Structure formats: structure tokens, C-alpha cells
Structure 1
Amino acid sequence: MKTPLPLVLLLVSLLLVGGCAGGTPPDAAQGPDDGPGGGAGERWRPEPGLDWQWQLSGALDPTVDVPVYDIDGFDHPASAVADLHRRGRKVICYLSTGAWEDFRPDAAKFPKSLLGKGNGWEGERWLDIRRTDVLGPLMAERIDMCKKKGFDAVEPDNMDGYRNPTGFPLTAADQLRYNRLVARLAHERGLSVGLKNDLPQIPELVGDFDFAVNEQCAQYEECAELTPFIEAGKAVFHVEYELPTREFCPEARRLKLSAMLKEYDLGVWRRAC
């Protein structure tokens, strides 16, 4: 038996209304940059131009009047992160994800077969990032530590081993795979994550990362390569070590980089643009 036309229209209208009421509102849908566990609004998304402090050595000085701090994840307890939060700061957890450090408490967990050549810093050696079966769980433990301490984001360091003499035949594809793994691990825990250096792969990785951290792009005339992050509305936290501020700050401001001058030991001292 055919249903009368007015009744059909009424049923269709009710179904459409019910679908809208029970569906996902547009502002709750995941965007193209949202990884697993990282829906819109669930993690911090720093915008271009934010001032910041990067301190990886010395007694932590929490009084620098900036909205963002980047500090060592192992060296600082949850109470230090909470103190920075009380002062209105977002806090980034520095970790080395591409190199082994003999002074970390989990150093013995890394098989010797994964340790390559030194990366130029005492006690550090490049990792064989092809071994994601081993490194994935180890990095997940480290990022879990950041999450447990209350950090807002992760800065994974040594993310460009494929461009260095690591002792392993690493390729660009190996690096993309590993960097995306690290980003996914952070997003699964509700943390933002920054791409450290690795400028050649920015076009492929800008969608996987929430911000960038760069060293010395002005000195090597590479800062324009970070533009995809700025165009995507994502902060670029930038430092120079050897150039005076007058030589890099005007261009950094034009490009909307969050730039400052630091000393190599990354202590308290800073000179912002």
C-alpha cells in the first residue's frame, strides 16, 4: 500500500530533524590536523607570535613574563609545571626522541643495537629510528611521563637524523614515518607536539604537528621555509645563538616567528625580538 504524500513528507522531515539533533555538531568534528585522540578543543594550539622562554639548564626561573615555557621533561617535577600553570603559562615538555642520552633514567631500556654515532653532544648517540617496534613503546612511556606531570605539549628533539651521519642508512621516508609516529603518540595523549627543525619535510608534516621549534634558520637563511606553519595558524618558536638581534629580528617579525636570542646552554638568559 502506498503511503499518502503528505505523510511521506512528514516522515522525511522528522528523520532530518532527528539526524541533526543526534549527529555531531560542525564545531565538534575533527579537522584535517586532528590525530587520534586529538579532537578539536582537546589540546593546546599555539598561534603565531606567542612569546616564549626555552630553558634546559640551570635552576628554573619561572618569573619570565611570557605565555609559553619549554623545559626539560625529565628534570622538572609536576609541581614545577603546576607552578608555571598558576602563573598563566603553557608548558612544553622537552624530550629527545631521535637520540639516546646516557644520563636519562631510562637509558638502560634502549638496546645497544639501536645506538648509532654520536650527535655532537656529550653522552648522546643517534637512534635507529627504523626500529619503531622498539622505540614506539619507549617513546610512549616518555610522553606518558609528560602527560602525568601536566605538560601541555611535547618538543621532540633530534627529529632529522636522516640528514646526519647516524651510523644507519636512514632515508627521508624513515624519518617521515618516525616523526608521524611521535606526533601520533602525543596526540593520543591529548598533548600538542612541535616539529623540531627538519625543514625539508615541513610540507609533508605541517598537518601532523601543532607548532614548530627551530634553531638558527636566520643564520642559515632558511626561515622562509617555516612559512607553511604560519600560514596554517601555527606558532614557530625560533632561536638564534650567534647572530645579534638586529640581524634577525626584523625578518623574524615580518614572518611572524616567535624569535629570541639564546646562549647555547639554553639557560635563563634570553633576549626577545
Structure 2
Amino acid sequence: MRAIRILAVAVLTWMAFLVAPASARTAAPVPAPVPCPGCWKPALNTSWQWQLSSVPAEPFLNVTMYDIDGFNASAAVVRRLHETRAGRKVVCYVSAGSYEDWRPDAAQFPASALGANLDEWPGERWLDIRQYGGKLGQIMRARMDMCKAKGFDAIEFDNVDGYTNETGFPLTAAHQFAYNAWLANEAHTRGLSVGLKNDLAQIPGLLSYFDWALNEQCWQYDECTTAQNGGYGYDQFVRAGKAVFTVEYELAASSFCSRSNAQNFNSLRKNYDLDAYRVACR
């Protein structure tokens, strides 16, 4: 069923592309990756927690990395996460591909950038990422500045695979690539490490822009590795010395942990709402 849905989305996207104005069919030129020698580069084996639905409270887990909501977490929480474990890094979660009506900057989004609703996520709509050269880009820069000001070490941009979904816009792979590369470069100019969230098919091209990767459910859908996909996979990040973090929601840990460990992935079993519950594979 998932393969059928992906094919249907691809057909709809192509049809929208054909009827779109020429100006909407092309993506902006993609700049070279911005180096960030001072950015945190997680070790291939990095213990971590991903907790978005609530702000972590002390006592914190004894893990090297916490990935938490950038808006909800205060600078004091980020500081305490640093203070309570030497070398701990904190990742700032923000959505870069969707509008969320509960965020404090929601009123700043132009109506023209708001697309279809995200399935099963009330109050959330896809964004026209082609507009990042204007107001949308200003909003995302402000979000990155917020992450930097609060003391985060890295950033996780969510929903950066809109071109594979029914967004309401004729987004192409080229549009997505240009936007994701721009996000990574903007993060690096702020000294923030940056992770590629999902968007598996563009791993070969985006690998040089991102410092690590995070995926949801790649074992469930048999798409974690190059051997499974043909031309792309998270083993390419590992071969480049870049850490991979994966999460499964529906599979039992016993069904994927040994495979994750063999690939040198840092994998967790989590609940869909990304609360404090966690089962670590290693």
C-alpha cells in the first residue's frame, strides 16, 4: 500500500509540474556546502534521547545527545543539559517544511506559503519551500537564531521531504534539494551542526551538506541501506564517518536492533508522540 501511495504522489506531483508556470518549475542554483570546522560532529556510536512532546526534566538520562523542541525548551534547560553531563550536546528541533498554528511565529507566515494539511497532524500545513528566498527564509533564519541564542549545539529540520507528499504545491526533487542545502548552509554559518531528517533518496547529494542523519521507520519499510534501495542508504553516512540515528515506532526492538547495530546505527524504539519512553538498541 505504501508503494502505491508513493507512486500516486509521484504522478500527482508530475501533473502539477506540467501545468505550473515556468518560474515555478525551476529551483534556485545550489551553492557549495558551507564548511563548519567548529561544528559538533557526533561519533558514530552516540547515545541519545529524542523527546519532543515534553521538555526533559532532571534527573536527565545519561546520554550524550538530547534532541528536544526548540521552541518549548528554555535556555535554562539547554544549559542544565550541558551542565549535568560533560560533553553532552543538545539538538534543536524545528519544522522547516510545515506551518504549525501553535507556534509563536505562526502569524508571520504568508498565506501564499501555506499548503495542504499534514495527515493526522491537526493545525499543521505543508509549506511552499520555493519561497525561501523571501519571507519564509526570514522566518527560518529567525528560528535558527533562536536555537543559537538558547545555546543549542545542533539543529534538526523536520518535514524536509515535502516533494514526496501531497503538499498542494508542485514541488520537485530539485526544489527540495535546493531548500535542504540552503538550510544546512544557514545552520553552519551559525556554528550549528545539522542533521538530515528522512529524505532518503537525496542522501548521495546532500551527504556533503549534513553532519549526521536522523530517520523514522526505515527498518519497517525496508529502506535503511543502499542494498535495500539501490542508490541510497544510511550506510553512506556511516562510510563517510557521519553518525546515523534511527527510530522505530511499530517494530519490536528485537526485530531491528541487531540489524541497526550491525550497520553502526544509533537506534531507538519510541512512541509516536516522542515522549520520554525509549528502548535503546545499544
TM bin, normalised by shorter chain, reads 0.7 to 0.9
What residue number does 1:91 align with? 90
Aligned to 1:239: 247
In structure 1, what is the Cα distance between the partners aligned to 2:221 and 2:44? 21
Indicate the residue corresponding to 2:12 in structure 1. none
* Residue of structure 1 equivalent to 2:261: 253
Deviations 1:89-124 (CA, angstroms, capped at 9, x unpaired): 200000000000000000010001100001121110
Range with greater deviation from structure 2 (104-113 or 61-70):
61-70
- Identify the residue that residue 208 of structure 1 maps to in structure 2: 209
Q: Is the 8 A contact 2:55 2:73 kept in 1?
A: no
Does residue 65 of structure 1 match 2:73?
Answer: no
Cα separation, 2, equivalents of 1:162 and 1:58: 29
**Secondary structure class of the residue paired with 1:131:** helix
Structure 1 position 139, deviation (Å): 0.6
Conserved? CA contact 2:245–2:267, under 8 Å: yes
User: Matches of 2:257 and 2:57 in 1, distance apart?
Assistant: 24
CA spacing shift, 1:35–1:219, aligned 2, 3 Å: same
Q: What secondary structure sits across from 1:130 in the alignment?
A: helix
Tell me if structure 2 keeps the 8 A contact 1:155–1:194: yes
Alpha-carbon distance between aligned partners in 2 of 1:70 and 1:39, rounded to the nearest angstrom: 20
Cross-structure match for 1:140 = 141
Q: TM-score normalized by structure 1?
A: 0.85
Structure 2: where are the runs of 5+ without partners? 1-31, 226-232
Aligned partner of 1:171: which letter?
Answer: T
* 1:149-160 → structure 2 map (5 Å cutoff): 149-160=150-161
2:42 partner amino acid: P
Structure 2 contact 33–181 (Cα < 8 Å) conserved:
no
Of all paired residues, the percent bearing the same amino acid is 54
Q: Distance in 1 between matches of 2:96 and 2:55?
A: 24
Q: Equivalents in 1 of 2:71, 2:198: separation in Å? A: 21
Q: Quote the Cα distance in structure 1 between the aligned partners of 2:55 and 2:182.
A: 32
Q: How far apart are residue 59 of structure 1 and its match? A: 4.2
- Compared with structure 1, are the counterparts of its residues 69 and 232 closer, same or farther at alpha carbon in structure 2 (3 Å cutoff)? same
1:141-179 per-position Cα deviation (integer Å, ceiling 9, x unaligned): 000000000000000000000000000000000000000
Residue 45 (1) aligns with residue 41 (2): yes
Q: Residue 198 in 1 paired to residue 199 in 2?
A: yes
Q: What secondary structure, in the 3-state scheme, does the structure 1 residue paired with 2:40 have?
A: coil
Q: Deviations over 1:185-206 (max 9, x none)?
A: 1000000000000000000001
Counterpart amino acid of 1:69? Answer: Y
Q: Normalising by the residue count of structure 2, what TM-score does the alignment of the two structures yield?
A: 0.83
Tell whether the 8 Å contact from 1:218 to 1:248 is kept in structure 2 after alignment.
yes
Residue type of the alignment partner of 1:78: A
Cα distance in 2, alignment partners of residues 212 and 59 from structure 1: 22
Query: 1:179: which partner in 2?
Result: 180
1:47 positional shift: 2.0
Check whether the contact 1:78–1:150 (CA below 8 A) recurs between aligned residues.
yes
Q: Is the 8 A contact 1:136 1:181 kept in 2?
A: no
Matches of 1:39 and 1:111, distance apart in 2? 32
Measure how far apart 1:35 and its partner are. 4.3
Q: Which has the larger radius of gyration?
A: 1
Alpha-carbon separation, structure 2, partners of 1:59 and 1:113: 32
TM-superposed deviation, 1:136 = 1.5
- Provide the residue aligned with 1:115 in structure 2: 114
CA contact (8 A) 2:114 2:128 kept: yes
Q: Are 1:155 and 1:195, in contact at CA under 8 Å, matched by a contact in 2?
A: yes
| 1:194-241 deviation line (CA, Å, top 9, x unaligned) | 000000000000100000010000000111111111111111111000
Q: Look up the SS of the partner of 1:69 in the other structure.
A: strand
For 1:117, what is the secondary structure of its paired residue? strand
Aligned length: 238
- Give the Cα separation in 2 of the matches to 1:113 and 1:153: 30
2:164 match: 163
